[in-house]
Chains A and B, each alone.
Chain A
C-alpha cells in the first residue's frame, strides 16, 4: 500500500418526510478521514496482525485491499494488481472473511454455499472435491454441512465461512475479526485452524482482531493503526517492549488504609502509581517489566491489612490508545 487514504464525505442525514431527497439537495457535508497515508507491504507466507481501537481505520483499509472501497488517494496492489481496476482477477486470488457477517447463504445448508461458490470460481468437479477434502481435514465441517447455515453455532459458522473463503484456494487470506463473539473453546479451535492454514498450506494471512490472544498466539508481525495512521510495525516482542506489561492491581483493605503524605511519597519513589481510591479500595498500576507484582503487594501491605487482591491486565486496545494518545 502506498500513501493510501480514504476520506468519507457524507451528507448529514435529514429526518422526516422525503429525508433522502432533502439530504441529496443539502449542501451540509461532513468529512471523515478514515485512513490517512498508510504505507506497508506484506510478504508471501506472513501472518500479520492488524490492530487498533474501534474506528482506527482497520476495516476501511481491509475493504480497500479487497476492492470493496475505492481509495481517495494512493494505491493498493495485491499481487501487483489493483483490486479496484481489476476487482475480479484479484477476487480470485484472495479469500475474505468478515467475522460480523457471513458470506454463506443463510437459509441453505453449508453444502449448497460451497456448490454455488465452486461454480462461481469455475472449479471443476474434481478440483472442488479435492479442495473440500483438504479443507475438511483442517476445518472438519462435514458433520454439519447439511444443516442450514442459520442453525449453526457461531464456531461452526466461522469454520464454514473460512472453508468458503478458501474453496478457490486463494493465496492471501484476509480475516476481519474472525473470533468475534466466540467462547474460549471456539476461539482456540479457530486459532488452531488458522495456524494450520498458515504453516502447512502456506497461506498468507492478514488478520484484524480485538483479542490480544489471537495476536500473541498467531502473528509474527503486528501492525498497529490509530486514527488512520500506522503507528507501529514490528514483531510482538518489540511491541511488548514498547508498551511494557501494564498491570492493574486492586486491593481491598480491612480498614481504611493509611497512605503516606505527599512529601514522603515524593521522597520515596515507588515503581507504581495510584490509579484510583475509594474508601477501603485502592487501585494501583504498575509495569511488570519494571517491577514484580509481589513487590508491589509488599509495599501496599505496609499501609494496612489487606483483605482481598485482584490483578488484571487492562484491555490491550486501551493501552495502545493511551500510549499513542497521551492523556488529553
Chain B
C-alpha cells in the first residue's frame, strides 16, 4: 500500500471513529453551518447599508471572503491536527505518532479528521455567487476561474504553513492555543476585509510577518480590481512556497526539541 493508500485508510478510520458519536457529529455540523452563514450575513448587511467601502463593492468583498473561507476550510479539513496541536504536546499524544514508521508530519495530519463539508459548501457558494455577479457585471473575464483556483491552492498552502509554524513553536513553549488565536483566528477575521482599510502596521504585519494578505487581498488586486499587474500571481505563488519551506524548516528543528510528558 502506498502512503496515499494508508492516508486514505486512516481518513476512513477517523470518520468511522467519529461516527461512533453520531448525534454529536450531526449537532456540530448543524451548529457550524449556522455560524458561517450568520457570519457572512452580518458582513453583507453592513456592506449593503454602506453600498461600498473605499471602492470595494459587496460582491468584491464577498469574493475576498469566499476565497479566504474556502482556503480556511480546505486547510481545516486535512490540517485539523496542526490547527489543534496543543493536546499533542501537552498529553504526549505525539509519542505514539513518533513510533509509527511514517513521516511524522503525515502521521500527525492523518491522526485527526474534521469534516467540513457544510462549511466548505457555504464558502464555495458565497464565492460562486460573487464570481457570477462580477462576471455578469462585466468587471472580470472568465480568466477569473483558473486564477481563483490557483489562489485557492496557494491560499491553502499559506494557511497550512502559518498553522504549521505555530504548531512548531509549540515544541519550545508547549502551550500554543493563545498563539494560534493570534496567528490564525485574528488574522483570518482581519483578512475578510480589504487590507487597504487597515493602518500601515497591521497591513505590514499581514503581508510580511503572517502573510495572510497574500491569500486573498494581493491576488484580488489583480484578478478583481485589475489595479496591480500580472506579477502579483507569481509573487503569491512564491510567498506560498517560501512560507511552506520556512514552516517545514521550523518544524524539523522543533521535533528534536520535543519534550514529551512525564508519567
Contact = CB atoms under 8 A, between A and B. Distances in A.
B5 interface: yes
Given A116-B10, A148-B20, A70 B175 contact: no
Contact of B101 (A18, A92, A103, A108): A92
Nearest to B102: A120
Nearest to A103: B96
Interface stretch (A7-15, A216-224, A239-247): A7-15
Interface in A175-195: 176-177
Contact of B98 (A68, A115, A121): A68
Given A100-B263, A112-B16, A119-B1, A19 B256 contact: no
Interface stretch (A39-47, A83-91, A253-261, A286-294): A83-91
B254 to A, nearest CB: 11
Given A24-B169, A98-B95, A10 B259 contact: yes
Interface residues on A, range: 35 or more
A120 B173 contact: no
B17 A105 contact: yes
A67 interface: yes
A164 B6 CA distance: 17
Contacts, number: 99
Given A120-B100, A120-B102, A122-B1, A68 B173 contact: no
Nearest to A104: B96
A70 B16 contact: no
Given A120-B101, A122-B1, A20 B17 contact: no
A59 interface: yes
A20 B175 contact: yes
Contacts of A176: 263
Contacts of A88: 101-103
A107 B263 contact: no
Contacts of B98: 66-68, 87, 91
A272 B136 CA distance: 100
B9 interface: yes
A121 B176 CA distance: 32
Interface string A1-44: 00000001011010001111101100000000000000000000
- The majority secondary structure among interface residues of chain A is mixed
Nearest to B91: A101
A158 interface: no
A106 interface: yes
B175 A84 contact: no
A11 B98 CA distance: 24
Contacts of A23: 173, 175
B56 interface: no
Given A21-B179, A116-B13, A119-B9, A70 B256 contact: yes
Interface string B219-258: 0000000000000000000000000000000000000111
Interface of B: 1, 5-6, 9-10, 13, 16-18, 20-21, 92, 94-96, 98-104, 169, 172-179, 182, 256-260, 262-263
14 contacts: A11-B172, A18-B178, A19-B175, A20-B177, A21-B182, A59-B262, A63-B95, A69-B259, A70-B256, A70-B257, A84-B256, A91-B98, A116-B9, A119-B1
Given A69-B260, A176-B263, 6 more contacts: A13-B175, A20-B173, A24-B172, A66-B99, A68-B99, A116-B9
